[in-house]
Amino acid sequence: MSGVEYKDIEKGYEEQKPKQGTLRDERESRVMALRRFNLRIDRGEFMVLVGPSGCGKSTALRLLAGLETEDSGEILIEGRSVIAHPPQQRDVAMVFQNYALYPHMTVEQNLAFPLKMRRLRRREIHRRVRKTAEMLDLADLLKRRPGQLSGGQRQRVAMGRALVREPKVFLMDEPLSNLDAKLRIQIRGEIAELQRRTGITTLYVTHDQAEAMTLGDRVAVLNAGVLQQVDRPDGLYDRPENLFVAGFLGSPGMNIFPVTPVNTGQALDIQLGESILTLPDDSLAKHTGLTSFLNQPIFLGLRPDALAPNPKDDYAGTLPVRVVSLEALGHENLIYFELLKDPATRFVMRTTSKIRPQPGSDIWILPDLHQARFFSVDGQAITP
Amino acid sequence: MKRVLGGISLLLVSLIYLAPVLFMFIGSLKPDADVLVQAGSWRALWPDTASLENYRNVIARVPFGRYLFNSLFITVAIVAGGLLVNSLAGYAFSRLQFRGRNLLFAVVLALMIIPLEAIAVPLFYQVTLFGWRDTYIVQIIPFIANAFSIYLFYTYFLGLPKELEESARIDGAGVLHTFFLIIAPNALPAFASVAILTFLTQWGAFLWPLMVTSGDAVRPLPLAIATFHSLPPLQWGDIFAFGVMMVAPVILVFIVFQRWFVRGVVATGIKG
């Protein structure tokens, strides 16, 4: 059964632009935040909505919370349409980016507030507040006010206030973005653990792909109001359905080379500049779709880890490149390079920290075409 | 050296402003005969003999307690009613979406520039029609809704994070719960500013009470001191004592709320 379902949601905003030379006359134009947005989140699932700033991900979350109204479409929570219901009747809880703790209340009062609003008995409120405080390690902080807490503690109080109600859906709007890097990783783990324990359907919005990949049971990628792909993290990484997803996920993103499939007898070869790359026999079955693109320009996508300096004396299937720069990250190196024959675009490969070519030097690299992904010129993945 | 000079000049300037108040306070402690005689010299600021005789005279000559109660009752009622009505209005303008909001708000802003004197006469006709003359209500109701207070609340509420309200709504609070339990407690400086400004303005109200009241029963202090002034025998010591007794509550209110007031003024960006 679905925990949450978005059906054909459309949402736009009036954008007021002052006409030039005057402050009074304002033209209104509609900017679409979400277009034909369809997403199904299973009950108990941890879904992460990821995309660049302004892609509509927070709008999707706020629509589900009832803080904004959709232009058209429907939203279901556990099978029941909620579009006519105000936020307080949707049984959702939300953690805001700035936590939105009530500054004048103690931690205990903050946790108790949603329960008081639901007119629970005092004893039940007390029991649930204690339970939540213990679960989140807040028991010693109950008498403090938000202003007396550290960032991480405030974050946990915000989580507690959302959890204490035992809602049907848990919404999180970039809840880690105000924390420093170390704390972010720690709390990321805590959130994942907490969600597993409580089993509450969760929609988590972030622009940070590392959060998306580590937290989500599934990840939905959104760009310019259009849902690009929904899949498990490894599926998104290995099989991006379009160029946007390929470039957005992974750090750094996928390298995209302009290539042409050519038929040189038996095998299907890929022409990249003046080099000819041969698809391995065992991966031919994955790329039968390429036959419809023979001698047409397409794109070859290769993750930085699918490239390595050529270790052999044999230069077949390798690319001559010039090293532009090197980023040493300690446990690995990122080597930026450009094609010798076509230096317009910069690419990157990931190597062990031992490999350190000099910037400016020319080397041969060997792409692992087992990991190749092909895209047509309109950006869509070419599938069998 | 620079700081010392600065301090001295500040002291001199503040003395110039404080002089009338000091003159009134010290005069109120002097025997009536000394007040005018010493007025032109430095001795005006120094009592040869100090006594509370003038204060006793005031209380013996007029029903001061009655006037004080009237002033307190009217002012506190206006402040309390004003805090409720104007804060709710400010909140509605700053946060709620409703048809005609911008137009209505523009009208409210426009009202700020209309002085009471301009509408006093039509207002007088109106309250006469209601049969409200010579009552407390006629001195209270017209001053509860106040455009400037609404504007102060409006700007303060705009500065509060929207997420606080959204969070409260998701937590199950309706509009009024959100306002009273979340917004108002986080806007105390704005409430203090409005309270103190309203108190100061209304405490000194003169024209309107003069128009709509005729008897001692509901008249406030500013009218009473004017009447007292013309009540023979003319005794300046008594008048000064009356003045001190009239000003004391204002100073008290300011001292109590001063900390909040300053924060409110800073936060709402108003200037004194």
Instruction: Give the domain CATH number at A133.
Output: 3.40.50.300
Do A154 and A175 meet the contact criterion of CB atoms below 8 Å apart?
no
- Beta-carbon separation of B170 and A87 below 8 A: yes
- pLDDT of amino acid B200: 87
Do B197 and B74 meet the contact criterion of CB atoms below 8 Å apart?
no
- pLDDT of amino acid B83: 97
Token representation of residue B250? 């204002």
Token pair 């903050």 is at which residue?
A: A110
- pLDDT of amino acid A321: 92
**What's the whole-number average pLDDT of chain A?**
90
- Beta-carbon separation of A88 and B170 below 8 A: yes
Do B107 and B170 meet the contact criterion of CB atoms below 8 Å apart?
no
Q: Are residues A116 and A201 in the same domain?
A: yes
Which amino acid is located at A106 in the chain? Answer: T
- pLDDT of amino acid A344: 81
Give ∠ CA B229-B233-B238 in degrees, rounded to 5.
Answer: 55
Domain contains A383: no
Q: Are residues A187 and A285 in the same domain?
A: no
Q: Are residues A260 and A219 in the same domain?
A: no
- pLDDT of amino acid A114: 94
Q: Are residues A215 and A92 in the same domain?
A: yes
Q: Are residues A260 and A159 in the same domain?
A: no
* Cα distance between residue B190 and residue B154, in whole Å: 10
Class of domain B64-228+249-268: mainly alpha
Helix or strand (DSSP H, E) at A18 = strand A2-18
Asked whether the predicted pLDDT for residue A25 surpasses 60, the reply is no
Which of A192, A214, A248 finishes a domain? A248
CA distance to partner chain B, nearest, from residue A88 (Å): 4
Mutate to test the interface with B, among A96, A99, A173 (most CBs of B within 10 A): A96
* Cα distance between residue B200 and residue B203, in whole Å: 5
- Beta-carbon separation of B170 and A102 below 8 A: no
Domain contains A83: yes
Average pLDDT of adjacent 10-residue blocks, chain B of 272 residues: 90 90 88 78 77 88 92 96 97 92 92 88 93 93 94 93 92 93 92 90 92 90 89 86 91 80 58 34
- Beta-carbon separation of B171 and A88 below 8 A: yes
Q: How many CA atoms lie within 13 A of B38 on its CB side?
A: 21
* Cα distance between residue A163 and residue A92, in whole Å: 10
Q: Taking CA atoms, what residue in B is nearest to A163?
A: B171
Q: Domain span at residue A307?
A: 255-375
- pLDDT of amino acid B266: 57
* Cα distance between residue A309 and residue A251, in whole Å: 20
**Strand order across the A255-264 sheet:** A275-278, A267-272, A255-264, A298-302, A373-375
Mean pLDDT across A321-328: 93
Domain contains A380: no
Domain contains A353: yes
Mean pLDDT across A57-63: 94
Do B224 and A143 meet the contact criterion of CB atoms below 8 Å apart?
no
Phi and psi at residue A202, to the nearest 5°: -130, 135
CA distance to partner chain B, nearest, from residue A217 (Å): 25
Least confident of A5-9, A22-26, A127-131, B67-71: A22-26
Token representation of residue B161? 């994070």
Q: How far is CA A336 from CA A231, A305, A351, A371, in A?
A: 29, 12, 11, 19
Token pair 């706020």 is at which residue?
A: A62
Do A1 and A45 meet the contact criterion of CB atoms below 8 Å apart?
no
- pLDDT of amino acid A225: 92
Q: How far is CA B82 from CA A252, B4, B75, B90, B157, in A?
A: 59, 44, 10, 11, 16
Please tell me which of the candidates B166, B181, B182 has its beta carbon nearest to residue A67: B166
Asked whether the predicted pLDDT for residue A337 surpasses 90, the reply is yes
Asked whether the predicted pLDDT for residue A273 surpasses 90, the reply is no
Asked whether the predicted pLDDT for residue A21 surpasses 80, the reply is no
Mean pLDDT across A284-307: 90
Please tell me which of the candidates A65, A98, A104 has its beta carbon nearest to residue B185: A104
Q: How far is CA A66 from CA A69, A76, A168, A294, A333, in A?
A: 7, 12, 14, 50, 46
Domain boundaries, chain B: 64-228+249-268
- pLDDT of amino acid B249: 87
- pLDDT of amino acid B268: 52
Which of A206, A227, A248 finishes a domain? A248
* Cα distance between residue A103 and residue A344, in whole Å: 54
Q: Which of A381, A363, A362 is nearest to A373 (CA)?
A: A381
Determine if residue A200 is left, alpha or beta; phi over 0 gives left, psi from -120 to 50 gives alpha, anything else beta: beta
Q: Are residues A187 and A290 in the same domain?
A: no
Q: Are residues A127 and A11 in the same domain?
A: yes
B166 inside 8 A of chain A by CB = yes
Domain contains A299: yes
Mean pLDDT across A178-194: 87
B170 inside 8 A of chain A by CB = yes
Per residue in A95-107, pLDDT tens? 998 899 999 999 9
* Cα distance between residue B196 and residue B79, in whole Å: 8
What percent of chain A shows pLDDT beyond 90?
66
Mean pLDDT across A284-302: 90
Give the count of domains, chain A. 2
Q: Which of B186, B107, B110, B106 is nearest to B153 (CA)?
A: B186
Concatenate the DSSP letters of all residues of B20-67 into one string. Answer: HHHHHHHHTTS-HHHHHHTTTSGGGGS-SS--SHHHHHHHHHS-HHHH
- Beta-carbon separation of B169 and A104 below 8 A: no
- For residue A368, what pLDDT band results from cuts at 50, 70 and 90? very high
* Cα distance between residue A340 and residue A274, in whole Å: 10
Which of A248, A281, A303 finishes a domain? A248
